[in-house]
Amino acid sequence: MTTSNRRPRPRNELGEYLRARRAAVDPETIGLPRGRRRVPGLRREEVATLAGVSVDYYTRLEQGREKHPSPQLINALNYVLQLSTDEQLHVYRLAGVDPARSGRSGNGASEPYLNDLMGRWAMNPAFIYDDTQEILAANALGYALHSPFKRADNFARMVFLDPAGPSFFVEWEKVAIDTVGSLRQAWGKVDSRHRVEAVVSELRSGSTEFVRMWETHAVIGKNHQRKSIDHPAVGRLTLDYLTFGIPDAHDRHLLVCDTPAGSTSEGVLELLGSLSACSATHEGTGESAAEQP
């Protein structure tokens, strides 16, 4: 038996993404008749014409025979394909350009200060996580919020692989799609891709739902999201998830959860904090809750 020495053919990531987004555009939204179409969305000829390039050039771009489109063409394609800000950045990254990295050193020098700062937030679950959605640090209320999970170490694994995920997140489908979109956005970063791919491979092996959502090529940035959760210790509450980039670490992010002042959710979160503090006190003294009068 002979073993082939051929290297695996590199994937045409930019072309695959352009095809996926082209198929998602309703022709009528950009002034074209729907008519009879063999494929959903826009035809290659229509995209090429609207972007101001030849059909041959655009075909080569989708097929991976042309890999370095100009910034002007990328801008035109972003407009024709009606891409969001996050999706536009993703296209730039797939084309080998990442404007978001400009001027960033990536040394993460501010993280120790952020850890101290998070520790002072008694009413805000807070986390530091990286592009693979690995949780690198959390404050006490953050750990208490995720106590129902067996392994509260990676947001994506928690959503798709942990049995607690579907019951913890009230709108699980929406949370799952947002999670996949965030992973896809991070996967677009050249420096992060190999680490993200390892997590993606694990999720593909363990969840058919993840496979379905990943194949949509959705790109979603985590800036502000509202999630309803059902915590077994305190019941249901709604949290605003606010994500901030860490300027000196381009692959890491600060996530802070908040509730409107005076809301029912604020009271539920306060109760969770009290239970967490009580549990920590019992553990510190070696006294169990059952021994309390």
Whether residue 80 is contained in a domain is answered as yes
Lowest pLDDT segment from 27-36, 71-80, 284-293: 284-293
Indicate whether 165 and 263 sit together in one domain.
yes
Beta carbons within 10 angstroms of residue 116's beta carbon: 9
Question: Does residue 179 register a pLDDT over 90?
Answer: yes
CA distance 117 to 230: 27
**Single-letter code of the amino acid located at 123:** M
Indicate whether 119 and 177 sit together in one domain.
yes
**Single-letter code of the amino acid located at 95:** A
Query: How many CA atoms within 13 Å lie on the side-chain side of 78?
Result: 19
Indicate whether 119 and 194 sit together in one domain.
yes
Question: Does residue 280 register a pLDDT over 60?
Answer: no
Full-model pTM: 0.70
Indicate whether 129 and 189 sit together in one domain.
yes
Domain count, the chain: 2
pLDDT recorded at residue 112: 73
Whether residue 8 is contained in a domain is answered as no
Read off the tokens for 15. 């072309």
pLDDT recorded at residue 256: 96
CA distance 225 to 123: 18
Indicate whether 218 and 275 sit together in one domain.
yes
Give me the residues paired with residue 224 across strands. 242
Whether residue 105 is contained in a domain is answered as no
The span from the first CA to the last CA of the chain, in angstroms, equals 75
Indicate whether 71 and 147 sit together in one domain.
no
**DSSP-H helix ranges across 64-154:** 71-80, 85-94, 111-119, 140-145
CA distance 226 to 260: 11
Q: What percent of the chain has pLDDT over 90?
A: 47
Indicate whether 161 and 219 sit together in one domain.
yes
- Mean pLDDT of all residues in 147-167: 95
Closest by CA to 82, choosing from 29, 121, 39, 129, is 29
Whether residue 44 is contained in a domain is answered as yes
Read off the tokens for 226. 């509202």
Asked if 104 contacts 246 with a C-beta cutoff of 8 angstroms, the reply is: no
Residue 210 is part of a domain; what is its CATH number? 3.30.450.180
- Mean pLDDT of all residues in 5-27: 82
What is the chain's mean pLDDT, rounded? 85
Indicate whether 148 and 270 sit together in one domain.
yes
Lowest pLDDT segment from 9-23, 120-134, 188-202: 9-23
Question: Does residue 263 register a pLDDT over 90?
Answer: yes
Residue 76 is part of a domain; what is its CATH number? 1.10.260.40
What pLDDT band is residue 85 in, cutting at 50, 70 and 90?
A: confident
- Its domain, for residue 37, covers 13-97
What pLDDT band is residue 287 in, cutting at 50, 70 and 90?
A: very low
pLDDT digits (tens, 9 = 90+) for 240-258: 999 998 876 778 899 999 9
What pLDDT band is residue 100 in, cutting at 50, 70 and 90?
A: low
Instruction: For 143-157, give the DSSP string.
Output: HHHTTTSS-TTBHHH
Asked if 227 contacts 155 with a C-beta cutoff of 8 angstroms, the reply is: no
Indicate whether 86 and 191 sit together in one domain.
no
- Mean pLDDT of all residues in 21-34: 85
What pLDDT band is residue 293 in, cutting at 50, 70 and 90?
A: very low
